[in-house]
Chains A and B, each alone.
Chain A
Amino acid sequence: MGPIRQHRDLLFWISLFSCTAVLLFILLPLLQMVCEPTWQGLCEAMADKTVRRAIGLSLYTAGWAALISFVIGTPFAYLLARKSFPGKRVIEGIVDLPIMIPHPVIGIAILGLTGSEHWIGRLIQEAGIRIMGTVTGIIVVLTFVGLPFYINTVKNGFEAIPIRLENVSRSMGASFTGTFFRITFPLAWRSMLVGLILCAARAISEFGAVIIVAYHPMVAPVLIYERFTAYGLEYSQPVAVLLILICLILFIALRVASTARAPANAGLSKTKFSA
């Protein structure tokens, strides 16, 4: 015998309606696109060297963007999570800026800074680094748009680790660095992985900024756009479906890895200090 159902009030039905509406809103266009291309069209897209190269470049550049975010974003996220200082809210606002700015504007801003008219651009060029129309340029743009997602996620992850664990570790003789690597990092790596996933996902989907900085070499979103404008819906859809499938497999695998055997906090509250 199942549980005896209680009377459900209006809020339950409103919630059910909103849940259905949101899921349909997200899934219908995607399902339509995934179901539209023929198997033959998908096979042709897979066999197409240009498509494979574009998807490969998207994954490659997004991977680099995530890696760079990990290296420069992790210490910064730790600082934001653990320290209070004047101007912290302003700095957090600056970190969120790439989410709010229209993406073509990001592309234009990066080009403006790295072009030969700007002294920084001249310095970069003298160092042999090219941004316009290069893989490096794409990675710079993708890091710019993905970094806030990594930093915010990892900051939340660090904040969820009670500072008392670090206090105890240090009282037992571990240095600040030793404590980070023996306590904080093993407890925060899942949030780092989630941050990497979000950063890479954001980077793979980026179009507006990339098209300004590097139309060529072509990443998958640019190729899909080009195929759509040049040949129409029929030619762009198989490439889009392929990109969606590859990303889906990759991100599900990473999500599974990030949620496997997460330890509880051994009866800890998240209290930092009490007077």
Chain B
Amino acid sequence: MVKLRQLAIELTGFSLGRIDLNVQRGECFVLLGPTGSGKTLTLEAIAGILPISHGRIWINGTDVTRLPPEKRGIGIVYQDFALFPHLSVIENVTYGLRYCRKPHRPSRKRIDELMALTGIDHLSRRDVNTLSGGEKQRVALVRALSVNPSVLLLDEPLSALDRGIRYDIQKLLKSLHRETGTTFLMVTHDFTEAIFLGQRAAVLNNGRIEQAGPIMEILRHPKSPFVAKFVGIPNVFPANFEDNHAVMDGFALKLAHPPSEASTHIAIRPEDIRIHPARPEAPANILTGKVIDMADHGPYGEITVETAAATLKATLPRRELLEFYNLPPGEVFLQVPPDGIHTF
């Protein structure tokens, strides 16, 4: 559907590449990465907005590397909406109709359906400058889908929205993806958005793909310290491996599976660590330490514990966190289940 081969972009002070990527027809693929990792550049290269210095791009089996943006059959939705400020809502969403060839031109009925689906049918005569952020993003989505694009490119579509609206638009994106069957290629720096919307993802770092595959696979089995940290694992440590154990500073943690020969690190998700005020009766992997920080994040809490082997972070329900607040200072016990230790 969208295929990138050895894609490279050279800019002053930044280079991207060489990137290989395959996005399947109808899937929602997510390009993940921190600010400055090159994910928006990749999107704009696919759109034909940014010239590439090497590689090839295919959309729907057609080599579009040398085609201008208007010949690529794509739609773009930006985080800042990019609505045409001199046009009304209806003029924005019907902007591209005149460029669609007859057999592919969506009917006015289809536009009305999309507007109804996104809840903007009552806004059609409104000036776009008077809309709220959520309404603007809905208009931008309908406008991009109105031309029946082969692939919809979404550049951080949720990041400019308030938290409450963000969840509504997230759900809307999911239903639009299901309803239209259009291939979505979304860029985001927020892993939770990727989990909610995407099926597969690629994590970009400094212009290179660090890891690509099913999102849950990336979440559970990161392949580098960067990816592990990016997907929200604060507990990433270098380790030596001996006899199905990971050894850190003389402390051995039992593993559920033997590590690969190339493994150099372990990662432990904070929600996999159980924290006890008294020593539990568990067969292995009990670390003793002191609480050095407690943070209340509202629905959940985070406790940082300094042990002889490493400093670990564990998350727990807020109710349990409050119990720890009331305990006298002293030792706590961390239980790390062997199947919660990921090696790479």
Cα-based distance from A269 to B37 in the complex (angstroms): 21
Q: Which B residues between 6 and 62 are near A, CB-CB below 8 angstroms? A: 11, 14, 16, 35-41, 44, 47-50
Q: Is A3's CB within 8 Å of the partner chain B?
A: no
Output the residue of A162, A186, A265 with the most chain B CB within 10 A: A265
The listed residue (B86, B99, B127) touching A187 by CB distance below 8 A is B86
The listed residue (B80, B81, B95, B131) touching A172 by CB distance below 8 A is B95
> Do the beta carbons of B47 and A268 come within 8 Å of each other?
no
- Residue interface mask B200-220, A partner, CB < 8 A = 1: 000000000000000000000
Which segment of B69-77, B299-307, B319-327, B336-344 sits at the interface? B69-77
> Do the beta carbons of A187 and B41 come within 8 Å of each other?
no
Q: Which B residues between 75 and 120 are near A, CB-CB below 8 angstroms? A: 75-76, 78, 80-86, 95-96, 98-100
> Do the beta carbons of A266 and B99 come within 8 Å of each other?
no
> Do the beta carbons of A265 and B85 come within 8 Å of each other?
yes
Q: Is A174's CB within 8 Å of the partner chain B?
A: yes
> Do the beta carbons of A266 and B81 come within 8 Å of each other?
yes
Cα-based distance from A267 to B47 in the complex (angstroms): 22
> Do the beta carbons of A169 and B40 come within 8 Å of each other?
no
State the interface size on chain A (CB cutoff 8 A): 29
Cα-based distance from A175 to B72 in the complex (angstroms): 12
Chain A's nearest CB lies how many Å from the CB of B48?
A: 8
Cα-based distance from A178 to B99 in the complex (angstroms): 10
List the B side residues contacting A171 at CB < 8 Å: 47, 49, 69-70, 72, 74-76, 144, 149, 153
Q: Is A167's CB within 8 Å of the partner chain B?
A: yes
> Do the beta carbons of B50 and A273 come within 8 Å of each other?
yes
List the B side residues contacting A165 at CB < 8 Å: 82, 84
Q: Is A168's CB within 8 Å of the partner chain B?
A: yes
Q: Is B238's CB within 8 Å of the partner chain A?
A: no
> Do the beta carbons of A172 and B99 come within 8 Å of each other?
yes
Output the residue of B70, B75, B83, B147 with the most chain A CB within 10 A: B70
> Do the beta carbons of B128 and A266 come within 8 Å of each other?
yes
Which chain B residue has the least Cβ–Cβ distance from A175?
B70
> Do the beta carbons of A167 and B82 come within 8 Å of each other?
yes
Cα-based distance from A126 to B115 in the complex (angstroms): 65
Chain B's nearest CB lies how many Å from the CB of A258?
A: 15
Q: Which A residues between 135 and 191 are near B, CB-CB below 8 angstroms? A: 162, 164-165, 167-176, 178, 182-183, 186-187
List the A side residues contacting B69 at CB < 8 Å: 167, 170-171
Q: Is A87's CB within 8 Å of the partner chain B?
A: no
Contact A168:B38 (CB < 8 A) given known A173-B100, A174-B70: no
Chain B's nearest CB lies how many Å from the CB of A186?
A: 5
Q: Is B133's CB within 8 Å of the partner chain A?
A: yes
Contact A170:B81 (CB < 8 A) given known A264-B129, A266-B128: no
> Do the beta carbons of B99 and A274 come within 8 Å of each other?
no
> Do the beta carbons of A275 and B84 come within 8 Å of each other?
no
Contact A167:B147 (CB < 8 A) given known A172-B96, A263-B129: no
- Residue interface mask A104-129, B partner, CB < 8 A = 1: 00000000000000000000000000
Cα-based distance from A182 to B84 in the complex (angstroms): 10
Q: Is A40's CB within 8 Å of the partner chain B?
A: no
Chain B's nearest CB lies how many Å from the CB of A244?
A: 35
> Do the beta carbons of B143 and A172 come within 8 Å of each other?
yes
List the A side residues contacting B50 at CB < 8 Å: 273
Q: Is B136's CB within 8 Å of the partner chain A?
A: yes
Output the residue of B35, B78, B85 with the most chain A CB within 10 A: B85
Cα-based distance from A172 to B50 in the complex (angstroms): 16
Chain B's nearest CB lies how many Å from the CB of A211?
A: 44
Cα-based distance from A220 to B342 in the complex (angstroms): 85
Q: Is A271's CB within 8 Å of the partner chain B?
A: yes
> Do the beta carbons of B95 and A169 come within 8 Å of each other?
yes
Contact A187:B85 (CB < 8 A) given known A164-B78, A168-B78, A273-B40: yes
The listed residue (B38, B47, B81, B96) touching A167 by CB distance below 8 A is B47
Cα-based distance from A193 to B70 in the complex (angstroms): 30
Chain B's nearest CB lies how many Å from the CB of A264?
A: 5
Chain A's nearest CB lies how many Å from the CB of B284?
A: 45
The listed residue (A162, A176, A263, A275) touching B40 by CB distance below 8 A is A275
> Do the beta carbons of B83 and A266 come within 8 Å of each other?
yes
List the A side residues contacting B41 at CB < 8 Å: 273, 275
> Do the beta carbons of A173 and B128 come within 8 Å of each other?
no
Contact A269:B84 (CB < 8 A) given known A171-B69, A172-B95: no
Cα-based distance from A264 to B147 in the complex (angstroms): 26
> Do the beta carbons of B96 and A173 come within 8 Å of each other?
yes
> Do the beta carbons of B86 and A268 come within 8 Å of each other?
no
Chain A's nearest CB lies how many Å from the CB of B258?
A: 40
Cα-based distance from A167 to B48 in the complex (angstroms): 9
List the B side residues contacting A268 at CB < 8 Å: 80-83, 85
Q: Is B68's CB within 8 Å of the partner chain A?
A: yes
> Do the beta carbons of A186 and B86 come within 8 Å of each other?
yes
List the A side residues contacting B95 at CB < 8 Å: 169, 172, 174, 182
> Do the beta carbons of A174 and B99 come within 8 Å of each other?
yes
List the A side residues contacting B80 at CB < 8 Å: 162, 164, 267-269, 271
13 interchain pairs (CB within 8 A)?
A162-B82, A167-B47, A168-B84, A172-B95, A172-B144, A173-B98, A173-B99, A174-B95, A183-B84, A264-B129, A267-B136, A275-B11, A275-B38
A residues within 8 Å of B by Cβ?
162, 164-165, 167-176, 178, 182-183, 186-187, 263-269, 271, 273-275
By Cβ-Cβ distance, the 4 closest A-B pairs, closest first, are A173-B99, A172-B96, A266-B83, A170-B69
